Structures are given as structure tokens and as C-alpha cells.
């Protein structure tokens, strides 16, 4: 964001944000479709019980428990929708902030650096909301396993937690991003000393 303050043309930033918003919009609309499907299943609980009962090695379906499971899925997808739409709004706010940002080619105006930091905070929060929405999908997959057997649900939940941990903290992509950010920070420090 500090780099952005120093540029007159901000087309690249606008294109990047538009791409992010498009992805989030896709997930928000998809979440509404999934939510509609889950809510439709509430009217078809008996049929769902028959399908589950026909699958070998599944726990016998209990009407109230099926409704509880559908309720949990509904809650997860409602929360996912809220996260995606909140992320979209925050990216919209960020677009407005970028549009309103004055140009400071010298990079010496401390107020504009503070403004750049506030834009970074909004972007960071928007990204967190997007991630929370995506995580909802992961955990919804684990809840689906509960329809078949409680032990499968426990195993699937542990697999989801492990997968999220590996992808968000130990993946090659995260390592590359971290290394890249360290290189950028070192280069900034060199430039600021000169």
C-alpha cells in the first residue's frame, strides 16, 4: 500500500482487487445455492433417512439427529455466506480508499504512510474473512461424514484441521511468500538507508 501511494497509475491494483472480488462473489453465490439445497433437505428428511439406511456400514439414521446435522450444515453455510459478503464489502471499502488515496512520490508524508497502513489493515481483514468462508467449506465436508458415522466425522474433522494447518502454515506456497516478504523488507531497509 505504501508503494501504491507513490504511483499515479493504479490500474494493476484495481485489476488485482477486481479479480479477488470476482472469486469471493463466486463463493458467496455458490454458498447461497448450497444453503438452498441444505434447507430443501429439511422437507425430505424421511427420504434422506432411507438413502442413509441403504448405505452399508452406516450408523442407523435417527430423525432428530438428521435434523440436528442439517441444522449444523445450515449454520456453517450461513456463517460462510456472512464471511464472504463481509469480505466483499471490505474489498469494496478498500477500492474506495485506493481511489481516494492522494499521490506522494517522495514517500515522506507520515500521514499518507499511516493512510497506507490503514488500507493494508482493511485488505488484511478482507482476506481473513475470505479465509474464514473457505474454512467453512472444509468443515462442512467433515460434517457430511457425520451423516454416515460419528467416528468418520471425528476422523474427518481431524483430517480437516491437519490439512488446514499444513496448507496455512507449512505449505511451500506459504514458505515462498514468507521468504519473498523477507527479501522485500530487506530491500526496503537498504533503500531507506540510502
Domains of the chain: which residue ranges? Answer: 2-149
Q: Give pLDDT, residue 189.
A: 83
CA distance 134 to 29: 13
Span between the terminal Cα atoms of the chain, in Å: 21
Confidence at 188, pLDDT banded by 50, 70, 90? confident
Alpha carbon of 176 to those of 79, 144, 147: distances in Å? 31, 33, 39
pLDDT tens-digit readout, 51-84: 999 998 888 889 999 999 999 999 999 999 999 9
pLDDT tens-digit readout, 108-123: 778 888 898 999 999 9
CA distance 84 to 154: 27
Confidence at 194, pLDDT banded by 50, 70, 90? low
Furthest C-alpha separation in the chain: 73
Amino acid at each position: 500500500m505504501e508503494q501504491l501511494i507513490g504511483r499515479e497509475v493504479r490500474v494493476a491494483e484495481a485489476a488485482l482487487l477486481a479479480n479477488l472480488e470476482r472469486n469471493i462473489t463466486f463463493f458467496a453465490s455458490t454458498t447461497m445455492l448450497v444453503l438452498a439445497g441444505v434447507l430443501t433437505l429439511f422437507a425430505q428428511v424421511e427420504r434422506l433417512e432411507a438413502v442413509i439406511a441403504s448405505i452399508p456400514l452406516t450408523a442407523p439414521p435417527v430423525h432428530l439427529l438428521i435434523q440436528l446435522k442439517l441444522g449444523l450444515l445450515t449454520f456453517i453455510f450461513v456463517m460462510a455466506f456472512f464471511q464472504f459478503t463481509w469480505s466483499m464489502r471490505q474489498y469494496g471499502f478498500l477500492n474506495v480508499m485506493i481511489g481516494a488515496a492522494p499521490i506522494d512520490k517522495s514517500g515522506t508524508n507520515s500521514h499518507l504512510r499511516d493512510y497506507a497502513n490503514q488500507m493494508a489493515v482493511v485488505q488484511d481483514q478482507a482476506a481473513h474473512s475470505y479465509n474464514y468462508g473457505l474454512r467453512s467449506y472444509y468443515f462442512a465436508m467433515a460434517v457430511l461424514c457425520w451423516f454416515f458415522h460419528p467416528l468418520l466425522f471425528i476422523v474427518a474433522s481431524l483430517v480437516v484441521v491437519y490439512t488446514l494447518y499444513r496448507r496455512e502454515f507449512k505449505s511451500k506456497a506459504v514458505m515462498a511468500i514468507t521468504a519473498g516478504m523477507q527479501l522485500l523488507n530487506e530491500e526496503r531497509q537498504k533503500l531507506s538507508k540510502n
